Amino acid sequence: MHARLAVARHEGLTESHIAELDNYESSSLLTAREKIAIRFAEVLAGDHRTASKDLFDELREHFTEAEIIDLGWRIVTFVGYGRFIHVLGLEIGDTCPISNAAEN
């Protein structure tokens, strides 16, 4: 969580925008483009089998095919990274337990 918020702040999101993420669907600060991108991320991070034609039709209203592919790759890269960091029990600034074990 801390890493996600640090990246969001670094990319220019304000505290107000960050606060809206949990309720993005009803947010008045986020654009329709941002909302569908977040929904896409939720689908890919959660039950990806729920991805539907309707989801992609809505994505196409705001993104080109190339942008959808790029967005999807970015999402799954960060989802995978986050899951790996989680199973290692790491947070920002922690040392990888695997590297410590190799030294012993």
**Phi-psi group of 56: left, alpha or beta (phi > 0 → left; psi -120 to 50 → alpha; rest → beta):** alpha
Please compute the mean of the pLDDT values over residues 3-14 and round it to a whole number. 76
pTM (two decimals): 0.76
The pLDDT of residue 39 is above 90:
yes
How far, in Å, CA of 60 to CA of 47, rounded? 21
Residue 96 reports pLDDT greater than 70: no
Q: At residue 93, does pLDDT exceed 80? A: no
**pLDDT at site 4:** 62
Domain boundaries, the chain: 2-92
Tell me the Ramachandran region of residue 12: left when phi exceeds 0, alpha when psi lies from -120 to 50, beta otherwise: left
Contact between 89 and 82 under an 8 Å Cβ cutoff? The reply is: no
Average pLDDT of the chain, as a whole number: 85
Contact 5, 18 (CB under 8 A): yes
